[in-house]
Amino acid sequence: MDEGSPSGAMDVDPSDAQAFKDRLTLLSGEVFWRDHQVWLAERGYMLRPRYRPDWVPSWKGTGERWQEHEDGLQLRHPAVIDATRLSDGETVMLKQVSHNLDPHETEITMFLASEPAKSHPRNHSIPIYEVLEVPGEDLTILVMPVLDYFFKPRFETVGEVLECLRQVFEGLQFLHDCRIAHRDLMVYNIMMDSKDMWPEPFHIMAPDMNRSFTADVKKPFTRTARPPKYHIIDFGLSRRYSPDNLNPTETAPEGGDRTVPEFTNDSGHVLHDPFAVDIYCVGNVIQEYILDAYRGCEFLKPLVDAMREPDPKKRLKIEQVVEQHKKIIKSRWWWQLRARVVLKDARGLLFDERHGTIIDYTRQLFNTTGHILTFKSALPKPRK
């Protein structure tokens, strides 16, 4: 038994396949949270039972599978964990940020989360509820809301897609106006606050389950019925430039999108425009997760192609992207905005592949009728 683990939950390296298999042991990335659980509770944030010093796996010796127990769920990313805010029972996310290793992330995140940037209507960076300085360590813990992937739950209408893009473009324009280049705008760094869409909270580590891990989560409302707000997250590779630096250059970051044309023809040491890279990356996300995933959004292709232009000097600036998007919205009639978008992998007995299933069609028709009767906007903007 490891003396640092009174429960017998030994500290192991994440490469240990057995640790992943039986879930009886904490991975090395999880140990930090267990060792700081008491301090976090004193600060008002309670971690799940798995990360408490006296944890004993609830399925140990029972013959049951770890999959049936909440404390069998490991962290996906060691630096990020969910917690319950004791003051109101709300689930929040905690993220470790090193002052020395990630000085830009701390600086940029706090700039965007502080006034006057915090209250700016075009600011779509992730909100920060609180900043905790870890005693005696070179670490800050950011307390943030729970966010969901921007593409889940799925889009139902053209208007929902266009409103999503409006917010993402607006958020990117705000960053660029602040002379901030994100430099890693891959799909998982564009998120949404979908809390209002769910009849009950889902479990962070098992989104198909409710928060209490006792049943499947209830189906969500549509984005039109409960409009979400979209956020840009993770400023670990971001840079903020002086207003005097009109044409900043960078070498290729270790970001998630390695298809950027500027990165593919060299070893990463050739200087490039980081703002142009942001445009390409967002365009690539739209291509893969909207144009390639849905039927009904083909009219976006000229804009997306211009955002993914191989020559960065010919690529659109964010102001041009925003302007073209506005023109697209103005060109659509209300019934076109409420038109259905269909996942391309849809199948059905009574409808062919182009139209999806009869169940999907009927559900969307029912939803749209309800939205019209209750005066829900075809471009569903979130509450201020």
- Residue 214 — pLDDT band, cuts 50, 70, 90? confident
pLDDT band at 101 (very low <50, low <70, confident <90, very high): confident
Each residue's pLDDT tens digit, 215-271: 999 999 999 999 999 999 999 999 999 999 988 988 888 788 889 998 876 555 678
Considering the domain boundaries, does residue 132 fall inside one?
Answer: no
Which ranges in the chain belong to alpha helices (H)? 17-22, 28-35, 37-42, 103-113, 158-177, 261-264, 274-286, 301-307, 318-330, 334-337, 358-373
Question: How far, rounded to the nearest angstrom, does the alpha carbon of residue 136 sit from its chain's CA centroid?
Answer: 31
Asked whether residue 52 carries a pLDDT value surpassing 60, the answer given is: yes
Counting residues of the chain whose pLDDT is more than 70, the rounded percentage is 88
Looking at residue 58, its amino acid is S
Do 254 and 168 lie in a common domain? yes
Residue 5: inside a domain, yes or no?
A: no
152 and 62 share a domain?
A: no
Q: How confident is the model at residue 16 (pLDDT cuts 50, 70, 90)?
A: low
In DSSP terms, which residues pair with 155 in a beta bridge? none
pLDDT grade, residue 353 (50/70/90)?
A: very low
Rounded to whole angstroms, the Cα distance separating 28 from 26 reads 6
In a shared domain, residues 358 and 240: yes
Taking residues 377-381, what's their average pLDDT?
Answer: 91
Is residue 212 located within the same domain as residue 64?
Answer: no
Mean pLDDT over residues 91-114, rounded? 92
List beta partners, residue 144.
93
For the residues 108-122, what does the mean pLDDT come to?
95
Is 60 inside a domain boundary? Answer: yes
Average pLDDT, the chain: 88
pLDDT of residue 369: 73
DSSP 74: P
- Per-residue pLDDT, 354: 45
Q: How many domains does the chain have?
A: 2
What percentage of the chain reaches a pLDDT higher than 90?
65
CATH number, domain containing residue 239: 1.10.510.10
Residue 4, domain member (yes or no): no
**What's phi and psi for 241, nearest 5 deg?**
-110, 155
Bridge-based pairing state of the strands 26-27 and 11-12: parallel
Same domain, 203 and 297: yes
* Buried-exposed string 48-83: b where 16+ CB fall within 10 A, e elsewhere: bebbbeebebbbbeeeeebeebbbbbbbeebbbbbb
Both 347 and 230 in one domain: the answer is: yes
Tokens of 382: 């979130």
Among the candidates 78, 99, 123, a domain finishes at 78
Q: Which of 78, 105, 129 is at the close of a domain?
A: 78
Strand partners, 232: 125, 190
Q: What is the DSSP letter of 213?
A: S
* Residue predicted with more confidence, 355 or 352: 355
φ and ψ of 272, to 5 deg:
-145, 170
Query: What's the rounded Cα separation, in Å, for the pair 84 and 143?
Result: 11
Nearest to 148 by CA among 131, 164, 166, 132: 164
- The answer as to whether 122 is a domain residue is no
Question: Is 324 among the domain residues?
Answer: yes
> What pLDDT shows up at residue 357?
62
Is 333 found in the same domain as 203? Answer: yes
CB count in 10 Å sphere of residue 302: 11
pLDDT band of 10, cuts 50, 70, 90:
very low
pLDDT at 266: 58
Q: What is the CA radius of gyration of the chain?
A: 23
Q: How far is CA 39 from the centre of its chain?
A: 28
Indicate whether 317 belongs to any domain.
yes
pLDDT given at position 207? 87
Specify the pLDDT at position 352. 41
Reported confidence tier of residue 173, pLDDT bands at 50, 70, 90: very high
Instruction: Write the DSSP string, 236-279.
Output: TT-EE--TT-SS--BPPP--S----HHHHTSSS-S-B-HHHHHH
Q: Show the domain range for 17.
A: 11-78
Cα angle value 53/140/12 (rounded, 5°): 40
pLDDT at 14 exceeding the cut of 60: no
* pLDDT given for residue 22 in this prediction: 63
Distances (CA, A) of 296 to 43, 56, 151, 309, 337: 49, 51, 16, 23, 10
pLDDT at 20: 60
- pTM summary value: 0.88
Residues 152 and 73 in one domain: no
Pick 101 or 55 by higher pLDDT. 55
Q: What is the pLDDT of residue 100?
A: 85
**Predicted pLDDT at 290:** 97
Among candidate residues 28, 54, 78, the one where a domain is terminated: 78
